[in-house]
Structure 1
Amino acid sequence: MFLFFIFGTSLIYGQNTVNDTIIVQDTLSNLKFNYKQLIIPGVLVSYGVIGLESDQLKGYNSDIKKEVNEDIDHKISIDDFSQWAPAVSVYSLNAFGVKGKHNLKDRSIILASSYLMMSATVFALKGITKVERPDGSSNNSFPSGHTATAFAGAEFMYQEYKDQSIWYGIAGYAVATGTGLFRMYNDRHWLTDVVAGAGIGILSTKAAYWMYPFLQHKVFKSSIENKTTSMIMPFYN
């Protein structure tokens, strides 16, 4: 009986070890980031950064500003709200029974991680570059925080619903693009600000999905899954 107990305990311990090993291997395999995912956001961010010094791209900025200002009758503040629309839509769709890829806790952690990385990047670049806004109101134009927020949400919506229908992602990116256009229409940002903001937003959410398997295993362990958890994320735009 004693030998049987030891043998059974050894089997259980060995099984747990194997399971932990499998989890770690799966986590590491999920961390393999496909470099192709970096191409589009990389090009967008590069365009914005190059535009900080390129006379040609600065000329495009000025030409667009002149064209836009000729047609402006009054400003429209819809971009203050549309920046949040793609991310909020994910939760709304889930509330109406259209299930995304992740549950409430998982997708909230992913979105919070994305916003944290995006906000840190945007504020750091604003402080470093000190680009004057088109309306001359301040020197924190580059990159566009509204656009970054909108595109982070659009990529979030795409990732959650791409297996359901690609049209969810298209709708999210259409709203995000509109947000960027309204930032220029309202004379708050240059084209390079908006393009760079879009790239930062997309890249932040892609990185959040890439990192989440590691965070899930190392930080948000399964032992707390059955407990009620709350999360407060300070965010300023």
Structure 2
Amino acid sequence: MKLKFVFLLWVSFGIVGCLNAQQANDSIVHVIEKDTTNLKLQFKSVVIPAVFVSYGIIGLESGQIKGFNSGVRTEVAEHIDEKVSIDDFTQYAPLVSVYALSAMGVESKSSLKKRLIVSSTATLLMALTVNSFKMTASVERPDGTSFNSFPSGHTATAFMGAELMNQEYKHQSIWYSIAGYTVATGTGVFRMYNNRHWLSDVVAGAGVGILSAKAGYWLYPYVSKLFNGKKPNKATTFLPMYDGKQVQVGLISRF
């Protein structure tokens, strides 16, 4: 059956992502005021994404993992009819949903200001980490077009958004978390389907994205101080966006 292997990858990787969503939810400290909810830096909340990143880094030198990457690539290639560009759009879907759901009336855990600061911090950290790895690792892409394959920026962006979506809306329904991680997983799968990344690139990208989102919450108490001026009626927020190739910064200001 066409794309059967790709579908199995999607399901298996998605299950792992949902397990991380459950662990992340368990690490939230619930308080009376909804906008003061922050994540504690607990070991169990970073185990899965840390393992993802470690797997990718080890894979840079491990002949066994490289061989497995090649095997997966060969298996996927047998099912490719033609490339699709859906991953160029799905990478942003979870992050956009963090704001779209709120606009549609679904109550999030955090205020708009907090979500903007957390997502901006997470995006900046994710972009810096991804680009640093790309410049130092110099891994050739499966299609041979360049040497910036590791890690997958598209996947990192998608999983960062999925984790933000999980933290903001899981209290409403577990299906929001499942939806976010499913889209993020699909993004990673299609990066391999389009012959743009190795499996270890995608796994590492997922870890980087999740960790960046968590770091956004951990750093919020400190970063938010930068936006607390003497005049409370004014607020300015920088919203960086990463498209897999370059970082763009948007400015949102309230007067």
Q: Tell me if both proteins adopt one fold, taking TM over 0.5 as the criterion.
A: yes
The one of 116, 119, 136 equivalent to 2:124 is 116
What SS does structure 2 have at the residue aligned with 1:231?
strand
> For the Cα contact (< 8 Å) 1:31–1:214, is it kept in 2?
no
The higher radius of gyration belongs to 1
Which residue number in structure 2 is paired with residue 183 of structure 1?
191
User: Size of the alignment, in residue pairs?
Assistant: 209
Q: Distance in 1 between matches of 2:159 and 2:241?
A: 19
The one of 200, 204, 207 equivalent to 1:199 is 207
Which residue number in structure 2 is paired with residue 19 of structure 1?
none
Query: Gaps (5+ residues) in structure 2?
Result: 1-35, 245-255
Instruction: Using the TM superposition, give the Cα deviation of residue 70 of structure 1 relative to its aligned residue in structure 2, in angstroms.
Output: 1.1
In the TM superposition, 1:218-233 aligns within 5 A as: 218-221=225-228, 223-233=230-240
Q: Distance in 1 between matches of 2:81 and 2:64?
A: 28
Which residue number in structure 2 is paired with residue 20 of structure 1?
none
Which residue number in structure 2 is paired with residue 70 of structure 1?
78
Which residue number in structure 2 is paired with residue 132 of structure 1?
140
Name the stretch that deviates more: 60-69 or 227-236: 227-236
Say yes or no: does 1:57 pair with 2:68: no
What SS does structure 2 have at the residue aligned with 1:111?
helix
The one of 93, 102, 106 equivalent to 1:85 is 93
The one of 113, 137, 141 equivalent to 1:105 is 113
> For the Cα contact (< 8 Å) 1:147–1:179, is it kept in 2?
yes
What is the CA deviation profile of residues 133-189 of structure 1, one whole-angstrom value per residue up to 9, with x for unaligned ones? Answer: 000000000000000000000000001112111211111000000000000000000
Aligned AA for 1:59?
Answer: G
Instruction: Using the TM superposition, give the Cα deviation of residue 97 of structure 1 relative to its aligned residue in structure 2, in angstroms.
Output: 0.7
Q: Distance in 2 between matches of 1:57 and 1:84?
A: 29
Tell me which protein shows more helix as a share of its residues: 1
Instruction: Using the TM superposition, give the Cα deviation of residue 231 of structure 1 relative to its aligned residue in structure 2, in angstroms.
Output: 3.0
TM-score (norm 1): 0.83
Q: Distance in 1 between matches of 2:48 and 2:56?
A: 13
> For the Cα contact (< 8 Å) 2:38–2:218, is it kept in 1?
yes
Q: Distance in 1 between matches of 2:54 and 2:169?
A: 28
Which residue number in structure 1 is paired with residue 223 of structure 2?
215
Q: What is the identity percentage for the equivalent residue pairs of Structure 1 and Structure 2?
A: 61
Aligned-residue CA RMSD (Å)? 1.8
Q: Distance in 1 between matches of 2:230 and 2:39?
A: 22
TM-score (norm 2): 0.78
Name the stretch that deviates more: 96-105 or 75-84: 96-105
What SS does structure 1 have at the residue aligned with 2:46?
helix
Aligned AA for 1:229?
Answer: T
Instruction: Using the TM superposition, give the Cα deviation of residue 235 of structure 1 relative to its aligned residue in structure 2, in angstroms.
Output: 4.0
What SS does structure 2 have at the residue aligned with 1:229?
strand
Which residue number in structure 1 is paired with residue 158 of structure 2?
150
* Compared CA separation, residues 235 and 144, structure 1 to 2 (3 A): closer
